A = this chain, B = another copy of it.
């Protein structure tokens, strides 16, 4: 099911803005902020507004089309890949990356067992220095 169908099936309308915003997000792997998405779209849609980006993201989050990330740098970042996985932010170049290979299901099961919570969400955020910046540092 593509975004247009997903939106309609959840009772939302399909607009050029929503499609464009999703495409920006989907096309890159950089976990952009609302501002980054907005700047990216201004060229093509001169009337695009930041408010529309935020409103769209709220809908996308609600219907499971994006995951909102708190990476500890005072603004939300968005990920089109909504399966649970950890993220890393480089404190030097500020990039945010996905990390595969961690068994998040096991961690969540452990958390449920140890806490007796019914866990409904998780945010595994790491910060550090990325390989590129480490290399740059050693010169």
Contact = CB atoms under 8 A, between A and B. Distances in A.
A130 B120 CA distance: 11
Number of identical monomers bound together in the oligomeric complex: 2
Interface residues of A, number: 35
Nearest to A110: B102
Contacts of A3: none
Interface string A84-97: 00101011000001
B134 A115 contact: no
B111 A119 contact: no
Nearest to A137: B118
Interface of A: 70, 72, 86, 88, 90-91, 97, 99-102, 107-108, 110-112, 114-131, 134
